[in-house]
Amino acid sequence: MEADAKELRNDWYAVELIRGIPLQYKGKKLLFNKVYLRDTNMGDFDKVSTGVNQEANNESAMQVLKLVSRGIVSEAYSFDEVEFVEENAKVKKKIHQVERKLASADGLASEGLQKQLDELRSQLTKPDRPYAGVDEVLSFPLEAFKSEDMRTADFVRLSKAFKEINMLEEEEIEDFLVLPKN
């Protein structure tokens, strides 16, 4: 069963990216700077890879990214607006920092932070969203993550989000590898 836009917005985790994931949609190159993620479940996979067939292994690896990452067409920007999208991402990062400070501030400090927050919000631009109102949900193919137009910082953000959502633990090799005794 495929998730709809309302379910993504209400139930899935969202990661805001600096530039976003480039993807071709109806002949137009778009940037998805908000990506929706959810934890992977074994029920997500139709096939079980046995390791015998390399093509099946590759298909399984691609399914992981497709199944847990989505974008909503109406939230995508035109790739022509890449500079505005990146500038907005920088301003939003500053906004989040001020909001965290504001949450723990009181009195005069909170008034100053609120003014700073208002000024930052006024710096946000409204880049072109060519498919506003189209709430179609798209899966990202593996090629989108390998694109030369995708920033490394965005890939790192997605990787960290996947890790956090799926509660992947980092283990030291000594904790699970048994070395030969000789």
pLDDT digits (tens, 9 = 90+) for 124-154: 988 889 999 999 999 887 778 878 888 888 8
Pick 118 or 52 by higher pLDDT. 118
The torsion of the CA quartet 138, 143, 146, 149, rounded to 10 degrees, works out to -60
Please give the Cα distance from 120 to 114 (Å, whole number).
10
Give the pLDDT confidence score for residue 53 in this predicted structure.
58
For residue 117, how far is the Cα from the chain centroid?
24
Band (49; pLDDT cuts 50, 70, 90): very low
On the question of pLDDT at 10 being above 60, the answer is yes
Give the pLDDT confidence score for residue 109 in this predicted structure.
79
